[in-house]
Chain A
Amino acid sequence: MTNHDTLDILKGLLGRPQPGVKPKIDVAAVTGATRIDEIGLDSLAVMDFVYDVEDRFQIQIEIMDLVALDRVSDLVAYVDAKRAV
């Protein structure tokens, strides 16, 4: 799997409908350079997203690592590194 595949999967998870919540994110506009803070997720959506990422890639994201991630590309690199272990 390439970085590009990981990014696409992450974007797919971002676009996943959440029960009872109207989608607000323009997933197509999300690139590796997008800051995670600026994707448009509220605090609950961030948690849902983290859960989904962990579940989809069968990894565990440590909280210390999570809060240090800045851009989507950092998350992609983090996920790929975790999967490689």
Chain B
Amino acid sequence: MNPLRGAWHRTEAVAAQAVVSLAASAPLGAVLGVARLAALVAYLVWWRRRRIAAENIRLAGVRVNKAQARALARASFTAFATMVAESIVARRRLTRDNWQKYVSLHLSEEAEALLRRPGQGLIVASAHLGNWEVAARAISMIKPLLVAYRPFNNPHLNEVARDARQGEHLRFVSRLEAHPMVFMRALADGAIVALMIDQHATRGRIAIQFFDRPAWATKSVAMLSLTTRMPLLVAFAVRTGRMHYEIHASGPIAYARTGDREKDAAAITQAITAEVEKAVRRHPEQYLWGHRRWRR
């Protein structure tokens, strides 16, 4: 690696570690204040991401008017910064005894039963809506949870992020470094495997429609469901107030195999995406719009 790049990577990681340590020990009000300020600065400075977010909002048809789209994009920046801040705080604040003070469950009856059944493996598809980190932490208090994540390019930053995100029964596994059987083994052990479905996928992907526009999504979630036959839920944690969240879960998604692998994977992925879309329409200000979702 280029030595300059290596030095930059280490600097980034040290800065990230300092932010995590400060945020973890500061009062919540102060952390949220800084997060709001950081969101504003990011919105003003990071013009490319700001433009992508506003464009995506208009492409999705969530806001048609340019000014309204920009306002929603700004709210989305704030929601993201708040998500990061509260996730860091949640690491020390949420415990097995008190997590229900901060997070309430709004699950389908079947989803609730599956979640509470000891030894039952579960696949959970989610999206960058609300606070996926707090959702994972809270749910891991009920059932061990393994999250598949897409790593940063900076390996030092990855280490900091992984350490800050993991918990007693909450593990993060890089999609790129994962042992080929890691997800299946976790399911066989009765854990939850959680994967994000709403990012543009460049490989192992399937064509879907998101807000009536063609997009690519990972087919991993669908294939995991098809091959393990474990129940597949779609879940999100929506922010309802300061450090307060509601986890909503639908499913399990029912699907009968046809023998056509790609067709089956597409059908399941589209069904999940439809659930994501419904949730985003309900809470568009909490969605991460800055991602280039409709790349070809």
Interface residues, chain A, CB within 8 Å of chain B?
Answer: 18-21, 36-37, 41-48, 50-52, 54-55, 60-61, 63-64, 66-67
Contact = CB atoms under 8 A, between A and B. Distances in A.
Given A19-B262, A44-B220, A51 B227 contact: yes
B194 to A, nearest CB: 14
Main secondary structure of the interface of A (DSSP, over half): helix
Nearest to B260: A55
Nearest to B173: A43
B181 A46 contact: yes
Contacts of A46: 180-181, 184
Interface residues of B, number: 27
Interface string B249-283: 00000000001011000000000000000000000
A37 B179 contact: yes
Most interface-central of B183, B204, B220, B228 (chain A CB within 10 A): B204
A14 to B, nearest CB: 13
A20 B204 contact: yes
Given A44-B220, A47-B226, A47-B227, A37 B180 contact: yes
Contact of A43 (B181, B188, B226, B262): B181
Contacts of B183: 43
Given A21-B203, A67-B185, A43 B261 contact: no
Given A19-B262, A55-B261, A67 B219 contact: no
